[in-house]
Structure 1
Amino acid sequence: MNPRSSSSTLLLSLALLLVPARQASAAQSTDPTALLALHPCVVVGEKDQDKVRDYQLACTTTVARDDVRLVPSEQVLAVLDKEPKKSCAPPASKKPSECLGRLASATQAARSVLITITPGQVTRVSGLVVSAQGDVIDQKNIQLRNRGQSQDELVRTALSRLRGQLDLVPAKQPPVAEAPTPASPPPAPPPVVTVTPPPETAPEKEKQSASTALEPIPTTTQRRSPLLGQSWKTPVAYSAAGLGVVAFGVAGFLAISGDQAMRQSNTYFADGSYPVISDLDTVIGLREQASSKRTLAGISTAVGAVLVGTGVYLWLDDRPTSPKPGITAVSVGPGSVSLFGVLP
């Protein structure tokens, strides 16, 4: 027996058996409708059975990541044994969507997916996602032209891109918030008792008028610290600028971390060598991590620039001006009121 064939068969069997087992404990405490029935990945045009098993292993490990929980493979195969051609892939099945719907319904999964791999100079990878009612949820096709990469790397890259675009699991419904209980109305305020003072006599009014005549009333201007500005704009400007600097720092950290992850993944291809099957998940994970961190670094840089620019604009727009004092005098006389003021 070919040792490589035996090793590939063993790895594929372990991937199909251990991936659902790893998610069994999480399935007991979550909604069963979130399960996904993975049809055995179909490889078209490849005669080398060792490579076929390698591609199927890469396909299974790529799909079974993140929040995807697969139906155990023995249940999927038991359902497919009841189909006339024991497969939902064309040309064995003339209506693959109906066949995949029966597969999802029989395994009590929310959806089922069929992935087809066609390696070659132009590698094609397609995915078909169907609900338990037989309705097509999503369908995507990825094509990559070989530009010097190995066929294994090209297939893994195409599978990773397809995995990121397919709608494999239903969106989680947000919890329904309970309506707040109406608060009891506040108690009625006590009645207000007004006391009317006795009317003042004419001599007292004349004395008050004489005392307030030509009495200067200085205008006071509240001075604020130049650092606080004249309104809310200056504190917001400081906050925005500070957050912008933090965003720049986060962007630099993500860029350096992503570059380190990419360098680490390239070590598996040093001296013209290729990673073994057991390292495929590690290489794919490192490259996806590098790509996501570079994307987040770009977004963080843009956000930091916007925040710093906003802070500078608000700070310039809210610079305080020096107030100038003025003097106002009011004169109250019999039957008249006079206003005297000095403009600054």
Structure 2
Amino acid sequence: MKHLPTPRPLLLALGLLLAPAASAQTDFVALHPCAIVGEKDKNKVQDLQATCATEIARGDIQLIPSDQVRAFLDKEPKKSCAPTKKPAECLGRLATATQASRAVLITLNPGQLTRVSGLVVNPQGEVVDQKSIQIRSRGQPQAELVRTAITRLREQLNLVPLKVTPLVEQPPPPPLVAATPTPAQEPTPSTTPSESPAVSAPAPAVGVSKQASSDGRTWKTPLAYTSGGAGIVALGLAGFFAISGNNAMIDSNKPYADNRYPPQSELANISQLRQQATTQRILAGVSAGVGAALVGTGVYLWLNDRKAPPTPGVAALSVGPGGVSVLGVLP
């Protein structure tokens, strides 16, 4: 009986395609309400905090909803991480409670010389990044000066961890197993001093028959077509996910068109659209890699499935005393 080798490249590629895309975790950022220094008017403080949150959300950042952040801060003794002696520890607890990869605290000191600083902390309470800049007014309005300062700070801060997209490595081809015939053993005649050597009877012929396929192709050809078809489907899905992710990112940037600034109530919707865009991009990358692997596997199997040379239908080997005979019968 001929044992067919397991198509390991196809199984590996199908396993990648069927792997749940939900395992790719999106990196969220828990934005602490911006700490405003030197301003006593509560209305101006709220306006500055809204401007700060809007400018931070303007980038390609996934923000935790503000109600979850506020729910955590309500349980803190001072209702904020800014006035504590160790703000990094408080921000670490905030990141852990909201399941965010980073917690960020922006401190703003508006005025003729506007100062703004940022503190980025991971869930372990370790400081990932910390920067501070200052901008002097040259006649522009205070709101414009604040937006410029926060934008420059956002571009310098390491708000989200750097991602490295793994490359899908094409698996090696399956090894070719060749059957080795077992060599025939000659019987050793036994002799005694009183008896002459006996003539042994001819050994029975050992026959090996092999039936070749009608067109010379094996199981590799249909498997190649299946793998190639699945790869084309995966590449089509990659294109669909890429277009969907791009559309979601365009929709999330529409509130910022014509240098407009959306109200703070729309930040949750913007964050949801960007999360959808990120997920679609991840799915597009995985589908493209799996599709390429499946198509490559199909091409390899198809090229490897050459037509086999014609073989005799029956071959017989006969071993006897004083000679060896070989008989071949064509099919």
Change over 3 Å in CA distance of 1:279–1:141 after alignment to 2: same
* TM-score where L is the length of structure 1: 0.49
Residues 204-215 of structure 1: pairs in structure 2 closer than 5 A: none
Distance 2:237 2:37 in 1: 45
In the TM superposition, residue 218 of structure 1 has moved relative to its aligned partner by 6.4
In the TM superposition, residue 130 of structure 1 has moved relative to its aligned partner by 6.2
Q: 1:249 and 2:239 equivalent?
A: no
Q: Count how many residue pairs are aligned between Structure 1 and Structure 2.
A: 241
Aligned to 2:119: 126
Distance 1:336 1:162 in 2: 87
Aligned to 1:49: 45
Aligned to 2:5: none
Change over 3 Å in CA distance of 1:227–1:262 after alignment to 2: farther
CA offsets 1:248-292 (integer angstroms, 9 cap, x no match): 011111122123223433443455543222212212332343344
Residues 253-332 of structure 1: pairs in structure 2 closer than 5 A: 253-270=240-257, 273-325=260-312, 328-331=315-318
Residues 331-342 of structure 1: pairs in structure 2 closer than 5 A: 331=318, 335-336=321-322, 338-342=324-328
What amino acid is the match of 1:49? V
Distance 1:306 1:218 in 2: 43
User: Is this contact kept in 2: 1:126–1:162, CA < 8 A?
Assistant: no
Aligned to 1:137: 126
Aligned to 1:116: 106
Q: 1:221 and 2:178 equivalent?
A: no
Give RMSD over aligned pairs: 5.6
In the TM superposition, residue 41 of structure 1 has moved relative to its aligned partner by 3.9
SS in 1 for 2:126: strand
Aligned to 1:72: 72
Change over 3 Å in CA distance of 1:337–1:311 after alignment to 2: same
User: Is this contact kept in 2: 1:63–1:163, CA < 8 A?
Assistant: no
Gaps of 5+ in 1: 1-35, 167-205
What amino acid is the match of 2:210? T
Distance 2:132 2:215 in 1: 61
In the TM superposition, residue 297 of structure 1 has moved relative to its aligned partner by 2.1
CA offsets 1:218-268 (integer angstroms, 9 cap, x no match): 6522334759626xx556534432332122011111122123223433443
In the TM superposition, residue 343 of structure 1 has moved relative to its aligned partner by 9.8
SS in 1 for 2:74: helix
SS in 2 for 1:140: strand
Structure whose residues are more often helix by fraction: 1
User: Is this contact kept in 2: 1:115–1:127, CA < 8 A?
Assistant: yes
Gaps of 5+ in 2: 1-28, 134-143, 163-198
What amino acid is the match of 1:278? S
Change over 3 Å in CA distance of 1:253–1:227 after alignment to 2: farther
Distance 1:226 1:119 in 2: 82
Change over 3 Å in CA distance of 1:87–1:157 after alignment to 2: closer
Distance 1:137 1:74 in 2: 23
User: Is this contact kept in 1: 2:118–2:153, CA < 8 A?
Assistant: no
User: Is this contact kept in 2: 1:326–1:343, CA < 8 A?
Assistant: yes
What amino acid is the match of 1:285? Q
CA offsets 1:17-70 (integer angstroms, 9 cap, x no match): xxxxxxxxxxxxxxxxxxx9986543569995243221566579965359x887
User: Is this contact kept in 1: 2:35–2:106, CA < 8 A?
Assistant: yes
What amino acid is the match of 1:307? L
What amino acid is the match of 2:47? K
Change over 3 Å in CA distance of 1:295–1:163 after alignment to 2: same
Aligned to 1:191: none
User: Is this contact kept in 1: 2:235–2:288, CA < 8 A?
Assistant: yes
User: Is this contact kept in 2: 1:64–1:70, CA < 8 A?
Assistant: no
Change over 3 Å in CA distance of 1:240–1:65 after alignment to 2: farther
The farther-off stretch of 282-291 and 307-316 is 282-291
SS in 2 for 1:244: helix
* TM-score where L is the length of structure 2: 0.50
What amino acid is the match of 2:106? T
What amino acid is the match of 1:287? R
Greater RCO between the two (CA within 8 Å, min separation 6)? 2
In the TM superposition, residue 104 of structure 1 has moved relative to its aligned partner by 4.9
Distance 1:294 1:301 in 2: 11
Percent identical across equivalent pairs? Answer: 31
Distance 1:297 1:46 in 2: 47
